[in-house]
Structures are given as C-alpha cells and as structure tokens.
Amino acid sequence: MRRKKPEDLRSHRWYGVDNLRAFGHRSRTKQMGFASEDYAGKPIIAIVNTWSEMNPCHAHFRLRADEVKRGVWQAGGFPVELPAISLGEPLMKPTTMLYRNLLAMETEELLRANPIDGAVLLGGCDKTVPAMIMGAASMNLPAIFVPAGPMLRGNWRGAVLGSGSDVWKYWAEKRAGNLDDEAWGEIEDGIARSYGTCMTMGTASTMASAVEALGMTLPGASSIPAADSNHSRMATAAGRRIVEMVWEDLKPTDIMTGAAFENAVTVAMALGGSTNSIIHLIAMAGRAGAKLDLDRFDALSRRTPVIANLRPSGKYLMEDFYYAGGLRAAMARIADLLHLGCVTANGQTLGVNIDGAEVYNDDVVLPRERPLSQEGGLAVLRGNLAPDGAVIKHTAADPKLLKHAGPAMVFRDYNDMAARIDDPNLPVTPESVLVLQNAGPLGGPGMPEWGMLPVPQKLLRQGVRDMVRISDARMSGTSYGTCVLHVAPESFIGGPLGLVQTGDIIELDTPARGLTLRVPDAELARRRAAWIPPKVIYPRGFGLLHARHVTQADKGCDFDFLHGGSVVPEPEIH
C-alpha cells in the first residue's frame, strides 16, 4: 500500500504552498492560537459534530468531540470541529426524515469546502447516521463513524422500560383506562435516564449496527452504551485511527462495496432491526454506487434468522446486548451469512474483526438452532395496492394477522385520523384494516413515523391490541404491530393507496408477500380519473427543494440529483 506524503494531503493546497492565499489560510489559523507546528504537514481531521440542545441523544457529543480530538493529536493529526445540523428525533417536526438529505448535503459540502483530509462523523439519533454516511460517501474522503451509543435501561416500579416500545404499550393501557396519571408521570421520569440513543433495537441501534457491519466504525463500536467509559475510549481510538486512514487513503468507497451492504442488510435482519433501515441503506448504497433494492432486501431477509432477542421484536435492551458480547459476537454467530473479506475502517477485514468474539448470554444473542424467527424481521410486499413495494416488520406483528382480509377504514390524512380514531361511533371491528393516506415522502411531507396507527379506543377497551394498518408512512423502529408501511408509490402522487375507500376489502398475505385491494380494475380506473392532485405542502425553501426532488420509498427517498452521480470538482483556491 502506498502511503501518502504530507504534500499529497488535500489540505496541502490550502496551507502548504507559497502564495498569497496560503498566507491568508495560515495567518488566520494562527489567529485561533495554533502554531504552524500544530497543523503544518499534518492530516486535518474534521470532527463533524451533530451536538445540539435540541437533541438529547447527542447530549454527550461536546465531550466526545474532545475525546476524538485527543486521539487525533496523539496520532499526529490536526483536529477541527465542524458543527452540523442535529436531527433530534424527539423534537423536530414534522419529522427529521424531511431533513435527512439536508444533513447529508451539509456533511458533503462541509468536507468539500474546507481544507479537510479526513472526517470523524459524530451521529447516532436515527437520521443522523444515514445522512452523515451518505454525505461522506459522496465526498469520499477517508471517514470513520462514531455512533452516539444507546442510553441506559429505563426503570419503573421494578420493571425495565424500553425507549419507544414501552411508550406505545403504556399509552395504550392509559387510553384503555388501566393506568392512572401518577403512574404515567413516573414512567415519564424513568424511561430516558441518560444521554444516548433509544436503547431498544429501534432505528438508531439498527443503523449504528448496520454501519458497523458495513465497516465504517471501529469493531464493536455500535453496541457500547453512551454512558460507559468504553465509549469515550472508542471515540479517542477513532480519532487515532482516522489519521492513519488518511495516510493509507482508505476511503468510504473502498469500504462501502456491494458485498459490504449485503453484510449491513443481513445484520439489520438478524437483529430484528427497524423498517427504516430499508430506506436508509438503499439511499446509502445509491451514494456509494452499490446496487441494493427491495428485492435483494427481501431475499437476504428470508435467509437470515433473527438471533438478537431485543425489543421491540424480543425481550432485552442494548445494554444487555453489550454485556452479552455485542455486535461482534452476534456477527460471529452468523459468520456464514456474511462476506468476511470486506475491508473495514480499522484496515482489517470483517472476518478478522469478529474472529473469536464470544456470546456470553445465549438468551440475549440466541443460538442459531433456536432463533426468534427463522426469517429476518422484514418482508417486502407487492400487489395492486403497492406496485412499487411496501414493507412489514412481521416479527413485531401478531402472527394471526399476517394473513388477513378485512374492510378498509380510511383516514385521508393524519389530522383526519387524529380527529376520528377514538370516536365511539367509528365503524370499525377488530377485522377492519386501518388505512392512512397522504403520509408519504411528499404527503407527510418527509414520510413521518405515523405508520403505527393507534388502535381505536373502543377496540382497546374490548382488549384488542393489534390490527392490520396500512400507510405510505414510516414507523418508529421501536414500534410494533401489524403495520404495512412505505407503500409506493405514495397516495399524494396518485398511488393506489390514495384510491382506497372505506369498506373496500384489502388482503394481506405476508407469507406470499402479497398486498391486494379487492376492487375491480374498472372501478379503480374510474376513481383514478376523478383524483385531483393535491398542492405541494411547503411552497418555498428547503421544503420545496424536497418536494421537487425526493424519490419514493423504494428508491431510498434521496434527492434524485444526489443519488450516485458524477464527481464534483475540487474547489479552486484563488
């Protein structure tokens, strides 16, 4: 391998030459108190930091950025911290998904416009993970991801609480009249007790694990709880490693190959991971020029057993997973399903990284002969209701509903659903299929996590806890239930979901991967002819850019002009 020399560094163009511009760059760096010994001839490492006081999952990132810097200094690099928009899932509306591509663009352009040789990406809360990887892939400078890590377990009256999953569970009990305000208040106090990401196998844990399997983190990084001192040491080690990656010129496209994406998908499936991972991994693969589509997802899912006994599909939380050996041990259990020759950020192959990793608790990481499910957690459905596909997390659904036909109860949008769902006169039975329209990439906009429609209150009081629900929305990775999601094309642009009327019979056949609207073609054609396209929701700014360029769920919801594409020239330095 040819190692770079200082004059090969990208930053050399800014600092190392003898002209007026370089004088300005050096003198202005000195303005910040740095001497030429601090930076001259050294790899300049961007620490792209998504810290924000509107993002509790990243509350520790100021400290972690300092710990990364320590590693960069130790290894002979020059660290610089670059703040980027923080997509905090709990507080941003209508959904962070609307802004995933904005953070991806920001990451790419921060790296391009500045004298950067390599990047450490600090992210973790759901969309920050794919966004930063997408941007880094497009810029294609050496980069390593430092996941925020899961928060500690929640506690309430001796019970363990899991992010998201237990919110939905206890909210249903409250609506059913089984939980008083005092208990509800105690759950609010106990469910989020440290910094870090959701500690169920939600989207954040799924994506962090997938990115580790992809090879973009240090081995074992994704399982470490945020508040564990091992997390700090991992951050510092990532700082040391990125300096070497620059000298080695180990770039994202060297790591993020088609085979590496198959590893990421397989791992997400084996963990019973979030449905959101489908959209994100397809978008990430698109940036890296790797081929990945819904059918490949389904094929990989069918052959991959779910071996992580983690909520919402299973029983345990990320802290338990870490103590049981974490992702390295889980990957070692499915090593025969992985491409072990893929190179990873530490310069070793995946096979070397997981060699000898042991499982310490067989109830958390299950043996192959008794998995949670023989097949991976996600299935791709098709039919006249979803010509371009839909997905279901069947491991988190009531098995009795996975093959079901029933009359549709249609809500034309979220507000309609919220206004009527608990109406005692709502004409629903446990057999009804709840349909939510206009919640997709353009309809939401941003495809909010509305796909786990609440079970109507009158059915909750009858003891019903799951129903078939269908939408073009996403759902939180911590959610559960028989929820068909990501229906494409979406209703807002004229997809068949928008033509469904209350009373139509819908048939879900998960084993056969079918989703069918039992309405004659002639009647559907009549409804289509009468359909009036809605107006774009955000008529200016980033919302309008999103509306004009976002792709549908089966394509990953990236902007069409960011997917794959040509190499952008390096900026001129005048």
Q: Report whether 36 contacts 12 (CB < 8 A).
A: no
Binding segment (CB under 6 A) for ligand FES, from list 197-205, 370-378, 452-460, 493-501 = 197-205
Task: Give yes or no for a cis peptide into 56 (omega within 30° of 0).
Answer: no
208 binds ligand FES (CB under 6 A): no
222 binds ligand FES (CB under 6 A): no
**Of 89 and 320, CB closest to ligand FES:** 89
Q: Give me the least distance between CB of 204 and ligand FES, in Å please.
A: 3
Reduced to 3 states (helix: H, G, I; strand: E, B; else coil), residue 565 is coil
Please pick, from the candidates 44, 46, 47, 57, the single residue that binds ligand FES as defined by CB under 6 A: 57
Amino acid at 284: M
Cβ neighbours of residue 89 under 8 Å, at least 6 residues apart? Answer: 55, 57, 96, 125, 126, 127, 198, 204
**Cα separations (Å) of 22 from 11, 116, 466, 502?**
10, 15, 64, 68
**Cα separations (Å) of 471 from 398, 481, 500, 543?**
18, 13, 11, 22
Task: Give counts: helices (H), strands (E), the chain.
Answer: 21, 14
165 binds ligand FES (CB under 6 A): no
**Of 197 and 309, CB closest to ligand FES:** 197
Please pick, from the candidates 48, 80, 111, 125, the single residue that binds ligand FES as defined by CB under 6 A: 125
Q: Give me the least distance between CB of 215 and ligand FES, in Å please.
A: 22
User: Quick one: tokens of 561?
Assistant: 């002009």
Q: Give me the least distance between CB of 206 and ligand FES, in Å please.
A: 10
Binding segment (CB under 6 A) for ligand FES, from list 198-206, 461-469, 491-499, 546-554 = 198-206
Q: Give me the least distance between CB of 189 and ligand FES, in Å please.
A: 17
161 binds ligand FES (CB under 6 A): no
312 binds ligand FES (CB under 6 A): no
Binding segment (CB under 6 A) for ligand FES, from list 109-117, 196-204, 236-244, 552-560 = 196-204
226 binds ligand FES (CB under 6 A): no
Q: Give me the least distance between CB of 396 and ligand FES, in Å please.
A: 16
348 in the Ramachandran plot: left (φ > 0), alpha (ψ -120 to 50) or beta?
Answer: beta
Residue 436 to residue 497: CA distance in whole angstroms: 9
Please pick, from the candidates 197, 274, 551, 552, the single residue that binds ligand FES as defined by CB under 6 A: 197
**Of 198 and 290, CB closest to ligand FES:** 198
**Of 135 and 202, CB closest to ligand FES:** 202
**Of 69 and 280, CB closest to ligand FES:** 280
User: Quick one: tokens of 130?
Assistant: 């794919």
Please pick, from the candidates 198, 214, 226, 270, the single residue that binds ligand FES as defined by CB under 6 A: 198
194 binds ligand FES (CB under 6 A): no
204 binds ligand FES (CB under 6 A): yes
Residue 144 to residue 137: CA distance in whole angstroms: 11
Q: Quick one: how far is CA 562 from the chain centroid? A: 18
User: Quick one: tokens of 341?
Assistant: 């020759």
471 binds ligand FES (CB under 6 A): no
Q: Give me the least distance between CB of 42 and ligand FES, in Å please.
A: 34
Interaxial angle between packed helices 128-139 and 276-288, expressed in degrees from 0 to 180 and rounded to the nearest 10: 10
Binding segment (CB under 6 A) for ligand FES, from list 28-36, 194-202, 370-378, 547-555 = 194-202
Cβ neighbours of residue 330 under 8 Å, at least 6 residues apart? Answer: 267, 270, 271, 307, 308, 321, 359, 365
Q: Give me the least distance between CB of 35 and ligand FES, in Å please.
A: 39
332 binds ligand FES (CB under 6 A): no
Please pick, from the candidates 118, 142, 202, 325, the single residue that binds ligand FES as defined by CB under 6 A: 202
User: Quick one: tokens of 183?
Assistant: 């208990």
* Greatest alpha-carbon span in the chain: 79
**Cα separations (Å) of 380 from 259, 274, 302, 391?**
21, 13, 10, 5
Q: What number of chain residues touch ligand FES (CB under 6 A)? A: 10
Helices (H), 31-164: 36-39, 61-74, 100-113, 128-139
**Of 326 and 495, CB closest to ligand FES:** 326
207 binds ligand FES (CB under 6 A): no
**Contact flags string 77-116 toward ligand FES, x per CB under 6 A:** ------------xx--------------------------
Please pick, from the candidates 67, 81, 108, 126, the single residue that binds ligand FES as defined by CB under 6 A: 126
Phi, psi of 518 (to 5 degrees): -85, 70
**Of 284 and 318, CB closest to ligand FES:** 318
Residue 81 to residue 151: CA distance in whole angstroms: 24
Q: Among all chains, which residue has been given the structure tokens 């430092």?
A: 146
Q: Give me the least distance between CB of 199 and ligand FES, in Å please.
A: 9
User: Quick one: tokens of 501?
Assistant: 């009327």
Chain positions contacting ligand FES, by CB under 6 A: 57, 89-90, 125-126, 163, 197-198, 202, 204
